[in-house]
A and B are shown apart, each in its own frame.
Chain A
């Protein structure tokens, strides 16, 4: 750190105004805040902090990560949408944004934000306890069909991330979600923990969140919800391989408030693209088991629109 004396600052401002005429100083001329709607140390937070470090190099300004967690991500995502659109507040959002409007939780969708770029995906999975009688999806599905309303699934709070993945899976299997008791859990790790502790029968959260428990012979993965096998869990088959035509994953991406300053957006678009495709960012993601997936602004917006449509379909079918 170095301190700026008053006269030096005055000289700096004078110099800038002279060079840029009456126009504003070039963006970015001060630190940028990146809001993460989830707690520090979680999956979203890791993505954000790794990206922020790369983004700092691109923008030449500090990028400070602020965790606004709780409330299913609604307060944090709302804070991003309502931030001053000067380009100094951006956010790293998760797929939960497609879940609020279909359930009437909050009038907040991708339309309230400016898409800057998608960074990654995180496919769901089906895991059971290591001493569970089920060794394949077929056996688990047969058990659900044979004894409806006794098998317990978990992985998220109702209406959140992995629960939406579970609902879609049930519909894809031609079953009613009512056939399984959904045990709410605070996030994927806690869901896996409930399965390992012998309460719930299966969890639909990601393999990433189950990794250490699988290595420690506490959990048995039955399937990944990814389209193809995941590199670091190459022994786990996909649902498609087991005859179930279904994929589901969470995603993360960078957004800003609606009507963000166009000059700032241009700089941000370039910087985020470079940071999200940097070697160290990709390496950090893949080491944890995330799937790197870059979609630039417009493409990301289309993707979010599709995602919202899919979730709308699931939840309107549920309320029928």
Chain B
């Protein structure tokens, strides 16, 4: 084991690997910061380059680019209310509200620091408990995933805040959008209007760009002021504020990291779902609910830790059973095979030094977040000084590029426009956008696992409580919905009763 570790240090310490980590981090930073280009896309774009690299440098490039782009996605979310990656959408409102108070440096710095913490905790769990956690992840069948999806959907209602009905309405819109495309069990085309471009469903990225970027660009364009004047932030350096946040909110950060790793380890649930669930749980548990939505650092701490931890978690089933935890590890497994490294239980014995090298790369890649966070703060200062007349058209071009890039055809652009229009209407009628996005993300997971479970039990609903894990998650789901229902009934009763 020790000799494995030493040779791993030598592998990672080679100039090629170190150089790859820096270049890939920069690449991930740029891709993540551009709205609509996701961490998955950053990794997919790297594949041709990994052909030229040594196995460990190839993996290093994937890990660094993914970790960096998940963090960098927070930057446009905070500055422009346009999430760079879906994982940033969960805590965008608070991040942007803080920037409006003049705290851009604080937000981006905190996002980098807590991203690092989440990533490192995730890596430690990956190192310590890979085989154990992989076994756990393997016990999840369609029943457990169905309930997990339901819990995820409940988050929509929890994060929606006070207006339960509007949150539900928005969630239903998201679920309706998710049902477009070929029916999973019968292959029947739903809501496709005979178009084969819609058979694959509404692509998530153009939808996200349309819903968040287009209304924001329109708003920027309609503003009279050429340069946004932001107030001075509260006194004190960004660094000391981050330190304070760390002391105050160490528990949401730790909880987010552990939950993020666990969710990331489940095949089919990635960084975005981890961030949503962590933010929702933190919102339930917070001692300061009145601060949420008005520029509060707690959701950024919870979500930022969770999504970077999820990246490490996704590697647990990938390394042990070659089962991808998310789309990024799906690509990484392919690259590992190409490099003649076969993931699986044997990898720890046959390729021990490789495994340790992957762990070391994870630590390095996450530490890179700090210097790039500093770079992000610098860039933020510039971006905030650019007049809106310049920034809005530039964003429009980027948005169109992102929507087009997903499939290299016009269908992405049309989806972006259609959902942009929908978002504008929803904004005008006071419907929150976040539950719709969650509905689009989770809708397919819930439906496919529900159908798969129902078919395998031939329609027996009680079977959803047969398996212990499934029963536990099911009871949790009902408890949350029951609680929310009771609370709104009480609120209704109080309003009816004479004052």
Contacts and interface: CB of A to CB of B under 8 A. Distances in A.
Contacts of A106: 196
Given A105-B187, A212-B322, A70 B452 contact: no
Contacts of A52: 48
Q: In the A-B complex, list the 4 residue pairs whose CB atoms are closest, starting with the nearest.
A: A70-B200, A212-B344, A212-B322, A71-B199
Contact of B338 (A49, A198, A218): A49
8 contacts: A53-B51, A65-B47, A66-B408, A70-B201, A75-B197, A75-B199, A212-B321, A217-B345
Contact of A50 (B181, B197, B320, B338): B338
Contact of A158 (B138, B187, B199): B187
Contact of A42 (B44, B199, B334, B452): B334
Contact of B44 (A67, A157, A189, A190): A67
Contacts of A105: 187
Nearest to B463: A199
Contacts of B51: 53
Nearest to A74: B199
A181 to B, nearest CB: 6
Given A42-B334, A197-B140, A78 B452 contact: no
Contacts of B456: 152, 154, 181, 183, 199-200
B330 A39 contact: yes
A68 B334 contact: no
A184 B322 CA distance: 21
Nearest to A149: B458
Given A70-B199, A70-B201, A157 B342 contact: no
Contact of B342 (A33, A159, A181, A211): A211
A178 to B, nearest CB: 12
Contacts of B338: 46, 49-50, 284
B244 interface: no
B186 interface: yes
A200 B333 CA distance: 25
Interface string A32-45: 01000001111001
Nearest to A100: B187
B389 interface: no
Contacts of B48: 49, 52-53, 64-65
A205 interface: no
A168 B340 CA distance: 34
* Chain B interface size range: 35 or more
Interface string B120-149: 000000000000000000111111000000
A184 B334 contact: no
B269 interface: no
A190 B140 CA distance: 11
Interface in B323-347: 323-324, 327, 330-334, 337-338, 340, 342-346
Given A185-B452, A186-B448, A194-B142, A41 B184 contact: no
A75 B199 CA distance: 7
A66 B412 CA distance: 14
Interface string B334-372: 100110101111100000000000000000000000000
Interface in B290-339: 320-324, 327, 330-334, 337-338
A78 B194 CA distance: 13
Given A70-B200, A193-B267, 5 more contacts: A33-B408, A71-B182, A158-B185, A190-B267, A215-B344
A75 B321 CA distance: 31
A121 B448 CA distance: 29
Interface of A: 33, 39-42, 45-46, 49-50, 52-53, 64-72, 74-75, 78-79, 103, 105-106, 149, 152, 154, 157-159, 181-186, 189-190, 193-194, 196-200, 211-213, 215-218, 284, 287-288
B138 A41 contact: no
Contacts of A217: 345
Nearest to A103: B187
Residue of B330, B344, B451, B452 with most chain A CB atoms under a 10 A cut-off: B452
Contacts of B16: none
Given A181-B455, A211-B322, A79 B448 contact: no
Contacts of A159: 187
A186 B321 CA distance: 17
B141 A68 contact: no
B407 interface: yes
Contacts of B163: none
Interface string B259-276: 000000001000000000
Given A53-B48, A287-B340, A193 B138 contact: yes
Nearest to A33: B408
B408 to A, nearest CB: 6
A218 B321 contact: yes
Contacts of A65: 47-48
A72 B455 contact: no
Contacts of B323: 189, 193, 212-213
Contacts of A157: 184-185, 187
B320 A216 contact: yes
Contacts of B448: 184, 186
B455 A184 contact: yes
B155 to A, nearest CB: 23
A70 B181 contact: yes
Chain B CB within 10 Å, residue with most, of A189, A197, A200, A218: A197
A107 to B, nearest CB: 10
A67 B331 CA distance: 12
Contacts of B187: 72, 103, 105, 157-159
A100 to B, nearest CB: 9
Interface in B142-190: 142-143, 181-182, 184-187
Contacts of A212: 320-323, 342-345
B139 A75 contact: no
A40 B331 contact: yes
Contact of B200 (A45, A66, A71, A158): A71
